[in-house]
Structure 1
Amino acid sequence: MQVRIQGDGDEQALTDLQDWLSRDPQARQLSVAPVSTSGATMSVLHALDIVLNRGIEIANFAVAYASWRVARADAATRGARTLTHGGSTVDIGHLDGAQLADLLRRLQSEGTDTGTHQS
């Protein structure tokens, strides 16, 4: 299952999240690929593509993401809140680790043609 975390116009948030995931003991094994856009802004980081192959990877990512959000609460992070999987786009910035893991498991079981969901 591949998910994309959108930058939402906050490249620094994506950079910080990518660094956080690479340092987290459980999440560092995840496949995380930066997605850049070229143009006038010269390869701005646009999103992170993350591959989650097993249930444990979903849980590890969910806990790491939720921990990162809590750690950055004082930084007023506005980016890296939008998750896209197939046809689904969801604001995940308010979810705790268990809620995010549940959402990812539901998206995985529904397949990639699920429409757009807002929460």
Structure 2
Amino acid sequence: MHSHSPRVDTTVLDAAAMLAIAMGRTSDAGLGLAPAPPAVVSGSAVVGAWRSPDGTVKLQLRTDGTYAGEVAGRRKRPSGTYRVDGASVVLHDPASGLNTPVAVRHDGEELEMAGHRLLPA
């Protein structure tokens, strides 16, 4: 019978890694830092004016990361910030807290939002 000595883990961690383990975090997310301003999206295919073919839905995506919209029959005009997330854009309305996903289709030539097809205006 052979007796094996127990393996000793000799992993070396720096102070940041130790703190992350102790705090149960793997990144800086959720550390109570002030939210960053909207990202600048200039040059992106989604920046600009969009509208549905029947004109009932209009959306303006600005280079400063803000948006403004208009929906026929609604008094309140949606507005807030947006972020590009892969093949979609997420609109955030701080007044209502709503996050609305908008799919980017056909290499940025069309947007789809809540069943509405939007084309460059």
What range describes the TM-score normalised by the shorter chain of this pair? under 0.3
Structure with more of its chain in helix, by fraction: 1
Normalised to the residue count of structure 1, the TM-score between the two structures is 0.23
Larger strand share, 1 or 2 = 2
Give 1 or 2 for the bigger CA radius of gyration: 2
